[in-house]
A and B are shown apart, each in its own frame.
Chain A
Amino acid sequence: MSEHGHNEAHAPVVTTKLFLMVWIGLLGLTMIEVLLAYEQTPLTVMLLLLIGLSVIKAAMIIGYFMHMKYERFSLKMTLFPMCVFCILMMFVTMPDAIRSLALRP
Chain B
Amino acid sequence: MATEAKTGSLAQVWSGGASPYAIGSKKFGMWLFIISDALTFTAMLVTYTYLRMSTATWPTPFHFSPSIIFSTVMTLVLLSSSLTMVMAVHAMSHGNRAGVVKWLLATMAFGAGFVVLHMTEWLHLINDEKVTAFSNPWNEPLFGATFFGITGLHMTHVTIGVIYLGIIAIGVGRGKFTYEDVEVSGLYWHFVDLVWMFVFPLVYLMSVKMH
Contacts and interface: CB of A to CB of B under 8 A. Distances in A.
B194 A61 contact: yes
B65 interface: no
Contacts of B190: 61-62, 65-66
Interface string B50-88: 111111100000000000100010011001101101110
B35 A19 contact: no
B79 A98 contact: no
B50 A10 contact: no
Task: Give the dominant DSSP class at B's interface.
Answer: helix
Nearest to B199: A54
Contacts of B54: 96-98, 100-101
A53 B198 CA distance: 9
B22 A93 contact: no
A46 B35 CA distance: 27
A65 B210 CA distance: 35
A50 B198 CA distance: 9
Contacts of B90: 14, 16, 19
Measured as residues with beta carbon below 8 angstroms from the partner, the interface class of chain B is 35 or more
Nearest to A103: B54
B21 A33 contact: no
B22 A38 contact: no
B8 interface: no
Contacts of B154: none
A48 to B, nearest CB: 11
Contacts of B1: 2-3, 6
B93 interface: yes
Interface in A31-79: 33-34, 36-38, 40, 43-44, 46-47, 50-51, 53-54, 57-58, 61-62, 64-67, 71-72, 74-75, 78-79
B198 A54 contact: yes
A90 B187 contact: no
Nearest to B79: A26
B93 A11 contact: yes
B116 interface: no
B120 interface: no
A89 B179 CA distance: 36
Interface of A: 2-4, 6-8, 10-12, 14, 16, 19-20, 23, 26-27, 30, 33-34, 36-38, 40, 43-44, 46-47, 50-51, 53-54, 57-58, 61-62, 64-67, 71-72, 74-75, 78-79, 82, 85-86, 89-90, 93-94, 96-98, 100-101, 104
| Closest CB pairs A-B (n = 5) | A97-B53, A11-B93, A37-B205, A50-B201, A97-B54
18 contacts: A3-B19, A4-B178, A7-B179, A8-B178, A11-B183, A12-B93, A19-B86, A37-B204, A47-B53, A65-B86, A67-B183, A74-B20, A82-B39, A86-B39, A93-B46, A97-B49, A100-B54, A101-B56
